[in-house]
Amino acid sequence: MDDYEAERRLGAEFHLTAEDVDPREIDMVNASLFLRRPLLVTGKPGSGKSALAYRVSRELRLGRVLRWSVTSRTTLQSGQYEYDAIGRAQAAATSYAAARRAETNGSTDVEEPAIGDFIRLGPLGTAFLPTRTPRVLLIDELDKSDADLPNDLLSIFEDAEFGIPELERIRAHTSTVRVFTSDRNGSATLTDGRVACAAFPVIIITSNGEREFPAAFLRRCLRLEMREPDANQLAAMVANHMLDQDGVHSDRLIREFVARSAELDGLPADKLLEAVYLATSGAFRENGQSWPRLLDALWRRLSLAP
């Protein structure tokens, strides 16, 4: 488990109670697990879409979340693997030069650089490695992707495996190759250049609703619309981050945040955490003249309008 990333999103004292969890979330996560289908999570920024992946991983003890952040330049292959052909060519040239020098000294004991040293599986590829328990894969903000990526993902969602052409071409004489993975200091052995999962990963895809997805992609996914957290859930979130253990500041700030969020048609929940952190840091006085101005700067609508 990537403790820092999980704690940053969930808090050091994260725990779930029946009041903290929307029953719809439990139903859809369970359905996603049983049906081996990705869960497309939509909602406003700050509603907890990405955090759902970390909550599932921590509750089910599935280890570190594999996060694939999508941009307009993201391709399917970049999520599957990266092959450093230039680095391998440079290493081969160095080996060749060393071999020429060795020949002059009567030695030819120089090996060609292993191809596996120049291949690293991306988050998507690492998630589909054959492991005993499923990995949690977070495909974050897919709506930022190129138009073709959602449909490109359908084949791996359906087949649960893919090939690496650079390794498939050499499988006749090198059937097993050890490559790097997206895990810290991680590696894996591939056979015949294929990556095939044993346990289908828990795939959570987030979208801010900035675009429509193809019908074929939507049919493949289960869908969950995240609701904005209520006052009790916000209080639990503050408690999980251990920002105001006595509740001296957070109770009033939560009420003010809920009211301001309703006025502005939604505010990211992390803006509440920022306010509580500042209130408990001692750097600002809540009864000072600068405090209302500071809250107004933190709690404003997510647009360029003043």
CATH code, 44:
3.40.50.300
Domain that holds residue 235: 231-298
Q: What does the pLDDT average to over 216-231? A: 88
pTM for this model (two decimals): 0.79
Q: What does the pLDDT average to over 189-200? A: 96
Q: What is the pLDDT of residue 263?
A: 80
CA distances from residue 60 to 26, 57, 77, 174 in whole angstroms, order as listed: 12, 5, 29, 37
Residue 77 vs residue 282, higher pLDDT: 77
Share of the chain above pLDDT 70, in %: 83
pLDDT digits (tens, 9 = 90+) for 150-178: 999 999 999 999 999 999 999 999 999 99
pLDDT band at 305 (very low <50, low <70, confident <90, very high): very low
Contact (CB, 8 A) for 164 and 178 = no
Q: Among 190, 209, 225, where does a domain finish?
A: 225
Amino acid at residue number 120: R
31 and 156 housed in the same domain: yes
Of 23-37, 208-222, 258-272, the one with minimum mean pLDDT is: 258-272
127 and 157 housed in the same domain: yes
What is the rounded CA–CA span in Å between residue 169 and residue 192? Answer: 9
Q: Which of 61, 59, 66 is nearest to 20 (CA)?
A: 59
126 and 200 housed in the same domain: yes
75 and 120 housed in the same domain: yes
139 and 221 housed in the same domain: yes
214 and 283 housed in the same domain: no
Q: What is the pLDDT of residue 141?
A: 94
pLDDT band at 230 (very low <50, low <70, confident <90, very high): confident
Number of structural domains the chain divides into = 2
How large is the angle between the packed helices 270-281 and 290-298, nearest 10 degrees? 160
Is residue 88 domain-resident? Answer: no
158 and 280 housed in the same domain: no
pLDDT band at 244 (very low <50, low <70, confident <90, very high): low
Q: Among 198, 225, 252, where does a domain finish?
A: 225
Q: Report the chain's mean pLDDT, rounded to a whole number.
A: 84
Q: Among 165, 198, 225, where does a domain finish?
A: 225
Q: Return all residues near 16 (Cβ < 8 A) that are at least 6 apart.
A: 55, 59
What is the rounded CA–CA span in Å between residue 178 and residue 229? Answer: 45
Amino acid at residue number 205: I
Instruction: Tell me phi and psi for residue 9, to 5 degrees.
Output: -85, -35
177 and 240 housed in the same domain: no
Is residue 99 domain-resident? Answer: no
Place of tokens 């600002």: 284
Is residue 303 domain-resident? Answer: no
In DSSP terms, 177 is beta-bridged to 190
pLDDT band at 304 (very low <50, low <70, confident <90, very high): very low
pLDDT band at 66 (very low <50, low <70, confident <90, very high): very high
Is residue 106 domain-resident? Answer: no
Q: What is the pLDDT of residue 249?
A: 66
Q: What does the pLDDT average to over 259-273? A: 79
Sign of CA dihedral 146, 126, 200, 32: negative
Is residue 259 domain-resident? Answer: yes
55 and 140 housed in the same domain: yes
176 and 240 housed in the same domain: no
Q: What is the pLDDT of residue 1?
A: 45
Find the angle CA(276)-CA(278)-CA(283) to the nearest 5 degrees: 145
Q: What is the pLDDT of residue 306?
A: 46
